[in-house]
DNA sequence: CTGTATGCAAACATTTTGCATAAGC
DNA sequence: GCTTATGCAAAATGTTTGCATACAG
Protein backbone atom coordinates (compact mmCIF):
# COMPACT_ATOMS: atom_id res chain seq x y z
CA UNK A 1 0.00 0.00 0.00
CA UNK A 2 2.93 2.31 0.64
CA UNK A 3 3.73 4.22 -2.52
CA UNK A 4 7.41 3.34 -2.32
CA UNK A 5 8.70 6.32 -4.26
CA UNK A 6 11.89 5.74 -6.11
CA UNK A 7 14.55 8.33 -6.52
CA UNK A 8 15.37 8.69 -10.18
CA UNK A 9 17.44 11.15 -12.14
CA UNK A 10 14.47 12.67 -13.96
CA UNK A 11 12.35 13.03 -10.85
CA UNK A 12 15.16 14.85 -9.13
CA UNK A 13 15.65 17.05 -12.15
CA UNK A 14 12.06 18.23 -12.05
CA UNK A 15 12.24 18.92 -8.34
CA UNK A 16 15.51 20.77 -8.61
CA UNK A 17 14.31 22.93 -11.45
CA UNK A 18 11.14 23.78 -9.62
CA UNK A 19 12.85 24.79 -6.41
CA UNK A 20 15.02 27.17 -8.39
CA UNK A 21 12.07 29.13 -9.73
CA UNK A 22 9.48 31.11 -7.85
CA UNK A 23 7.08 31.61 -10.69
CA UNK A 24 4.28 29.44 -11.94
CA UNK A 25 5.23 27.44 -15.02
CA UNK A 26 3.28 25.08 -17.23
CA UNK A 27 4.26 21.44 -17.57
CA UNK A 28 5.43 22.09 -21.10
CA UNK A 29 7.56 25.04 -20.05
CA UNK A 30 9.16 22.91 -17.38
CA UNK A 31 9.84 20.24 -19.95
CA UNK A 32 11.41 22.76 -22.30
CA UNK A 33 13.55 24.21 -19.52
CA UNK A 34 14.85 20.76 -18.65
CA UNK A 35 15.75 20.10 -22.27
CA UNK A 36 17.50 23.45 -22.47
CA UNK A 37 19.59 22.62 -19.44
CA UNK A 38 20.67 19.37 -21.00
CA UNK A 39 18.52 17.04 -18.94
CA UNK A 40 16.76 14.43 -21.00
CA UNK A 41 13.34 13.89 -19.47
CA UNK A 42 10.22 12.87 -21.33
CA UNK A 43 7.18 15.09 -21.28
CA UNK A 44 5.16 12.19 -19.95
CA UNK A 45 7.49 11.88 -17.01
CA UNK A 46 7.24 15.59 -16.30
CA UNK A 47 3.47 15.28 -16.13
CA UNK A 48 3.68 12.22 -13.93
CA UNK A 49 6.21 13.77 -11.59
CA UNK A 50 4.20 16.94 -11.25
CA UNK A 51 1.07 14.97 -10.51
CA UNK A 52 2.87 13.08 -7.76
CA UNK A 53 4.35 16.21 -6.29
CA UNK A 54 1.02 17.95 -6.37
CA UNK A 55 -0.58 15.05 -4.58
CA UNK A 56 2.17 15.11 -2.00
CA UNK A 57 1.62 18.82 -1.51
CA UNK A 58 5.11 19.68 -2.73
CA UNK A 59 3.83 21.90 -5.50
CA UNK A 60 0.81 24.11 -5.96
CA UNK A 61 -1.29 23.89 -9.08
CA UNK A 62 -3.03 26.83 -10.64
CA UNK A 63 -5.52 26.64 -13.47
CA UNK A 64 -5.15 29.52 -15.87
CA UNK A 65 -7.93 30.95 -17.96
CA UNK A 66 -6.72 29.15 -21.03
CA UNK A 67 -7.11 25.81 -19.30
CA UNK A 68 -3.42 25.22 -18.88
CA UNK A 69 -2.21 24.07 -15.49
CA UNK A 70 0.69 25.92 -13.89
CA UNK A 71 2.97 24.51 -11.23
CA UNK A 72 5.18 25.99 -8.58
CA UNK A 73 7.15 24.74 -5.60
CA UNK A 74 5.40 26.01 -2.52
CA UNK A 75 5.52 26.04 1.22
CA UNK A 76 3.28 23.42 2.70
CA UNK A 77 0.27 24.44 4.70
CA UNK A 78 -2.80 26.32 3.63
CA UNK A 79 -2.10 29.53 1.78
CA UNK A 80 -3.13 31.54 -1.26
CA UNK A 81 -1.36 33.41 -4.02
CA UNK A 82 -0.87 36.90 -5.26
CA UNK A 83 0.22 36.37 -8.83
CA UNK A 84 1.60 38.75 -11.42
CA UNK A 85 -0.45 38.58 -14.59
CA UNK A 86 2.59 39.45 -16.63
CA UNK A 87 5.57 37.46 -15.40
CA UNK A 88 3.88 34.88 -13.20
CA UNK A 89 5.94 35.71 -10.14
CA UNK A 90 4.17 34.96 -6.92
CA UNK A 91 3.76 36.03 -3.35
CA UNK A 92 2.29 33.59 -0.89
CA UNK A 93 -0.29 35.14 1.36
CA UNK A 94 -2.39 33.90 4.22
CA UNK A 95 -6.02 34.88 4.28
CA UNK A 96 -7.27 34.24 7.74
CA UNK A 97 -10.12 36.76 7.54
CA UNK A 98 -11.22 35.29 4.24
CA UNK A 99 -11.22 31.77 5.63
CA UNK A 100 -13.58 32.86 8.33
CA UNK A 101 -15.80 34.76 5.95
CA UNK A 102 -16.04 31.79 3.58
CA UNK A 103 -17.05 29.45 6.35
CA UNK A 104 -19.70 31.82 7.61
CA UNK A 105 -21.25 32.42 4.21
CA UNK A 106 -21.33 28.72 3.51
CA UNK A 107 -22.99 27.89 6.80
CA UNK A 108 -25.59 30.59 6.32
CA UNK A 109 -26.61 28.86 3.11
CA UNK A 110 -26.71 25.38 4.52
CA UNK A 111 -23.51 24.24 2.85
CA UNK A 112 -21.20 21.81 4.59
CA UNK A 113 -17.78 20.33 3.90
CA UNK A 114 -16.54 23.72 2.79
CA UNK A 115 -13.40 24.57 0.90
CA UNK A 116 -12.49 27.63 -1.08
CA UNK A 117 -10.40 29.16 -3.79
CA UNK A 118 -8.90 32.59 -3.44
CA UNK A 119 -6.45 34.21 -5.74
CA UNK A 120 -5.35 37.76 -6.40
CA UNK A 121 -4.04 38.82 -9.78
CA UNK A 122 -2.23 42.03 -10.54
CA UNK A 123 0.84 43.62 -11.98
CA UNK A 124 3.95 43.36 -9.86
CA UNK A 125 6.20 46.33 -9.30
CA UNK A 126 8.74 45.28 -11.91
CA UNK A 127 6.15 44.66 -14.60
CA UNK A 128 4.19 47.86 -14.08
CA UNK A 129 7.08 50.06 -15.13
CA UNK B 1 -16.99 47.90 -36.06
CA UNK B 2 -20.27 47.42 -34.23
CA UNK B 3 -20.84 43.76 -33.61
CA UNK B 4 -24.36 43.82 -35.06
CA UNK B 5 -25.65 40.78 -33.24
CA UNK B 6 -28.25 38.81 -35.08
CA UNK B 7 -31.13 37.06 -33.43
CA UNK B 8 -31.14 33.47 -34.56
CA UNK B 9 -33.06 30.42 -33.46
CA UNK B 10 -30.02 28.65 -32.06
CA UNK B 11 -28.73 31.66 -30.18
CA UNK B 12 -32.11 32.09 -28.55
CA UNK B 13 -32.22 28.40 -27.71
CA UNK B 14 -28.96 28.60 -25.80
CA UNK B 15 -30.07 31.69 -23.91
CA UNK B 16 -33.44 30.22 -23.05
CA UNK B 17 -31.97 26.99 -21.80
CA UNK B 18 -29.46 28.82 -19.69
CA UNK B 19 -31.98 31.08 -18.03
CA UNK B 20 -33.98 28.03 -17.04
CA UNK B 21 -31.14 26.51 -15.07
CA UNK B 22 -29.36 27.84 -12.04
CA UNK B 23 -26.49 25.43 -12.04
CA UNK B 24 -23.19 25.56 -13.81
CA UNK B 25 -23.10 23.40 -16.90
CA UNK B 26 -20.38 22.61 -19.39
CA UNK B 27 -20.70 23.56 -23.04
CA UNK B 28 -21.08 19.93 -23.93
CA UNK B 29 -23.82 19.40 -21.38
CA UNK B 30 -25.66 22.40 -22.75
CA UNK B 31 -25.33 20.99 -26.22
CA UNK B 32 -26.68 17.63 -25.09
CA UNK B 33 -29.60 19.27 -23.29
CA UNK B 34 -30.52 21.18 -26.42
CA UNK B 35 -30.48 18.02 -28.46
CA UNK B 36 -32.59 16.27 -25.89
CA UNK B 37 -35.17 19.03 -26.05
CA UNK B 38 -35.38 18.67 -29.80
CA UNK B 39 -33.42 21.79 -30.72
CA UNK B 40 -30.89 21.18 -33.41
CA UNK B 41 -27.85 23.33 -32.59
CA UNK B 42 -24.27 22.51 -33.49
CA UNK B 43 -21.70 22.17 -30.76
CA UNK B 44 -19.63 24.81 -32.51
CA UNK B 45 -22.50 27.24 -32.26
CA UNK B 46 -22.96 26.50 -28.59
CA UNK B 47 -19.34 27.37 -27.98
CA UNK B 48 -19.58 30.50 -30.06
CA UNK B 49 -22.78 31.63 -28.39
CA UNK B 50 -21.39 31.04 -24.93
CA UNK B 51 -18.23 32.95 -25.77
CA UNK B 52 -20.30 35.90 -26.94
CA UNK B 53 -22.53 35.82 -23.91
CA UNK B 54 -19.57 35.57 -21.60
CA UNK B 55 -17.99 38.57 -23.26
CA UNK B 56 -21.25 40.47 -22.90
CA UNK B 57 -21.38 39.57 -19.24
CA UNK B 58 -24.59 37.59 -19.67
CA UNK B 59 -23.07 34.41 -18.32
CA UNK B 60 -20.40 33.58 -15.80
CA UNK B 61 -17.64 31.17 -16.63
CA UNK B 62 -16.04 28.88 -14.13
CA UNK B 63 -12.98 26.76 -14.74
CA UNK B 64 -13.22 23.41 -13.04
CA UNK B 65 -10.28 21.36 -11.86
CA UNK B 66 -10.50 19.08 -14.85
CA UNK B 67 -10.01 22.03 -17.18
CA UNK B 68 -13.56 22.07 -18.38
CA UNK B 69 -15.34 25.42 -18.53
CA UNK B 70 -18.74 25.71 -16.91
CA UNK B 71 -21.33 28.32 -17.77
CA UNK B 72 -24.29 29.82 -15.99
CA UNK B 73 -26.67 32.70 -16.53
CA UNK B 74 -25.87 35.26 -13.87
CA UNK B 75 -26.83 38.61 -12.55
CA UNK B 76 -24.62 41.32 -13.89
CA UNK B 77 -22.33 43.17 -11.55
CA UNK B 78 -19.42 41.92 -9.52
CA UNK B 79 -20.17 38.86 -7.43
CA UNK B 80 -18.80 35.48 -6.45
CA UNK B 81 -20.17 31.98 -6.13
CA UNK B 82 -20.90 29.40 -3.53
CA UNK B 83 -21.07 26.21 -5.55
CA UNK B 84 -22.18 22.73 -4.64
CA UNK B 85 -19.47 20.23 -5.47
CA UNK B 86 -22.07 17.57 -6.09
CA UNK B 87 -24.91 19.04 -8.14
CA UNK B 88 -23.40 22.31 -9.29
CA UNK B 89 -26.18 24.45 -7.90
CA UNK B 90 -25.09 27.92 -7.04
CA UNK B 91 -25.66 30.80 -4.69
CA UNK B 92 -24.41 34.20 -5.70
CA UNK B 93 -22.69 36.02 -2.89
CA UNK B 94 -21.11 39.41 -2.54
CA UNK B 95 -17.79 39.60 -0.82
CA UNK B 96 -17.27 43.19 0.13
CA UNK B 97 -14.85 42.43 2.98
CA UNK B 98 -12.84 40.19 0.70
CA UNK B 99 -12.62 42.85 -2.00
CA UNK B 100 -11.10 45.21 0.50
CA UNK B 101 -8.73 42.61 1.85
CA UNK B 102 -7.52 41.69 -1.63
CA UNK B 103 -6.82 45.28 -2.52
CA UNK B 104 -4.91 45.87 0.68
CA UNK B 105 -2.75 42.78 0.35
CA UNK B 106 -1.95 43.64 -3.25
CA UNK B 107 -0.96 47.18 -2.43
CA UNK B 108 1.24 46.06 0.42
CA UNK B 109 3.19 44.00 -2.08
CA UNK B 110 3.48 46.67 -4.71
CA UNK B 111 0.95 45.13 -7.04
CA UNK B 112 -1.32 47.31 -9.15
CA UNK B 113 -4.22 46.76 -11.50
CA UNK B 114 -5.66 44.23 -9.11
CA UNK B 115 -8.38 41.70 -9.71
CA UNK B 116 -9.25 38.56 -7.85
CA UNK B 117 -10.88 35.17 -7.91
CA UNK B 118 -12.91 33.93 -4.99
CA UNK B 119 -15.01 30.85 -4.88
CA UNK B 120 -16.46 28.70 -2.16
CA UNK B 121 -17.12 25.02 -2.70
CA UNK B 122 -19.19 22.79 -0.50
CA UNK B 123 -22.08 20.39 -0.27
CA UNK B 124 -25.51 21.96 -0.43
CA UNK B 125 -28.26 20.96 1.94
CA UNK B 126 -29.95 18.64 -0.54
CA UNK B 127 -26.76 16.82 -1.46
CA UNK B 128 -25.48 16.31 2.05
CA UNK B 129 -28.36 14.04 3.00
C1' DC C 1 -28.22 41.79 -51.57
C1' DT C 2 -24.63 42.05 -48.06
C1' DG C 3 -22.64 40.34 -44.28
C1' DT C 4 -23.12 37.68 -40.16
C1' DA C 5 -24.24 32.92 -38.33
C1' DT C 6 -24.18 28.07 -38.78
C1' DG C 7 -22.37 23.41 -39.04
C1' DC C 8 -19.49 19.97 -40.35
C1' DA C 9 -14.98 18.15 -40.46
C1' DA C 10 -10.46 18.87 -39.55
C1' DA C 11 -7.09 21.20 -36.77
C1' DC C 12 -5.23 22.20 -32.17
C1' DA C 13 -3.34 21.95 -27.53
C1' DT C 14 -2.97 19.79 -23.38
C1' DT C 15 -3.04 15.85 -20.88
C1' DT C 16 -3.52 10.69 -20.36
C1' DT C 17 -2.70 5.84 -21.47
C1' DG C 18 -0.80 1.30 -23.47
C1' DC C 19 3.02 -1.14 -23.61
C1' DA C 20 7.71 -2.57 -24.02
C1' DT C 21 12.15 -1.30 -21.98
C1' DA C 22 15.18 0.39 -18.25
C1' DA C 23 16.45 0.72 -13.73
C1' DG C 24 15.89 1.22 -8.36
C1' DC C 25 16.05 -1.34 -4.24
C1' DG D 1 14.29 -10.48 -9.42
C1' DC D 2 10.38 -8.19 -8.48
C1' DT D 3 8.30 -3.84 -9.06
C1' DT D 4 8.16 0.81 -10.08
C1' DA D 5 9.61 4.43 -13.52
C1' DT D 6 10.43 5.88 -18.16
C1' DG D 7 9.44 7.15 -22.88
C1' DC D 8 7.53 6.89 -27.14
C1' DA D 9 3.57 6.84 -29.89
C1' DA D 10 -1.21 6.82 -29.94
C1' DA D 11 -5.61 8.03 -27.75
C1' DA D 12 -8.60 11.00 -25.36
C1' DT D 13 -10.58 15.52 -24.24
C1' DG D 14 -12.15 20.03 -24.69
C1' DT D 15 -12.09 23.72 -27.70
C1' DT D 16 -11.17 26.39 -32.01
C1' DT D 17 -10.96 27.17 -37.03
C1' DG D 18 -11.56 26.85 -42.30
C1' DC D 19 -14.86 27.05 -45.44
C1' DA D 20 -19.04 26.48 -47.97
C1' DT D 21 -23.90 27.21 -47.14
C1' DA D 22 -28.04 29.38 -44.92
C1' DC D 23 -30.34 33.15 -43.31
C1' DA D 24 -31.19 37.82 -40.76
C1' DG D 25 -31.64 42.50 -41.65
> How far is A100 from A22, CA to CA, in rounded Å?
28
Confidence bin at A3 (pLDDT 50/70/90): low
Confidence of residue A129 (pLDDT cuts 50, 70, 90): confident
Task: Give the pLDDT confidence score for residue B88 in this predicted structure.
Answer: 82
Collapse the DSSP code of A22 into the 3-class scheme (helix H, G, I; strand E, B; otherwise coil) and give the result: coil
**Do residue A85 and residue B122 have CB atoms under 8 angstroms apart?**
no
CA–CA dist A80, A92 (Å, integer): 6
Q: What's the rounded mean pLDDT across residues B34-50?
A: 96
Q: What is the pLDDT of residues A75-93, one digit of tens each?
A: 888 999 999 988 888 999 9
Q: How far is B116 from chain A (nearest CA, A)?
A: 4
- Does the pLDDT at position B2 exceed 70? no
Write down the mean pLDDT value for chain A: 91
Helix (H) or strand (E) holding A114: strand A112-123
List residues, Cβ < 7 Å, touching strand D. Answer: A 3-6, 8, 10-11, 40-42, 44-45, 48-49, 67; B 6-9, 26-28, 43-44, 47-48, 51, 66-69
For A95-117, how does the pLDDT look when each residue is reduced to its tens digit (9 = 90+)? 899 999 999 999 999 999 999 99
Residue numbers in A near B120 (CB within 8 A): 102, 105-106, 111, 114-117
Decide if pLDDT at B71 tops 70. yes
Q: What is the mean pLDDT of residues B100-110?
A: 94
pLDDT band at B76 (very low <50, low <70, confident <90, very high): confident
Lowest mean pLDDT among A14-18, A50-54, A109-113, B82-86: B82-86
pLDDT mean over A42-61: 95
Q: Which nucleotides of C are covered by protein (CB under 7 A)?
A: 3-9, 13-18, 23-25
**Residues around strand C, C-beta < 7 Å:** A 6-9, 26-28, 43-44, 47-48, 51, 67-69; B 3-6, 8, 10-11, 40-42, 44-45, 48-49, 67
- The fold adopted by the segment(s) A1-74 is Arc Repressor Mutant, subunit A (1.10.10)
**Are residues A121 and B98, on separate chains, in Cβ contact within 8 Å?**
no
Q: How far is CA B82 from CA A73, A109, A115, A119, B22, in A?
A: 29, 9, 10, 15, 12
Alpha-carbon gap, residue A101 to A98, rounded angstroms: 5
pLDDT bin (cut points 50, 70, 90) of residue B3 is low
Mean pLDDT of A24-50: 96
CA distance B69 to chain A (A): 8
CB atoms B118 and A113 under 8 Å: no
What pLDDT sits at residue A98?
92
Strands A112-123, B25-26: pairing is unpaired
pLDDT at A2 exceeding the cut of 70:
no
Full strand arrangement of the beta sheet holding B69-73: B25-26, B69-73, B59-63
Identify the architecture of domain A77-129 in CATH: 2-Layer Sandwich (3.30)
Tell whether pTM > 0.85. Answer: yes
pLDDT at residue A85 in the model: 85
Strand order in the sheet with B90-93: A90-93, A80-84, A112-123, B112-123, B80-84, B90-93
- For strand D, give the nucleotides within 7 A of a protein CB: 3-9, 13-18, 23-25
Answer whether A114 sits within 8 Å of B106, measured CB to CB.
Answer: no
**Domain coordinates of chain B in residue numbers?**
1-74, 77-129
Amino acid sequence: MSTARRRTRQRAAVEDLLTGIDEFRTAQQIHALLQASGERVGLTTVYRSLALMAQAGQVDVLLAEDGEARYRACSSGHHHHLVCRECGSTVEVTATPVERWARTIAEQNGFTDVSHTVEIQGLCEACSM
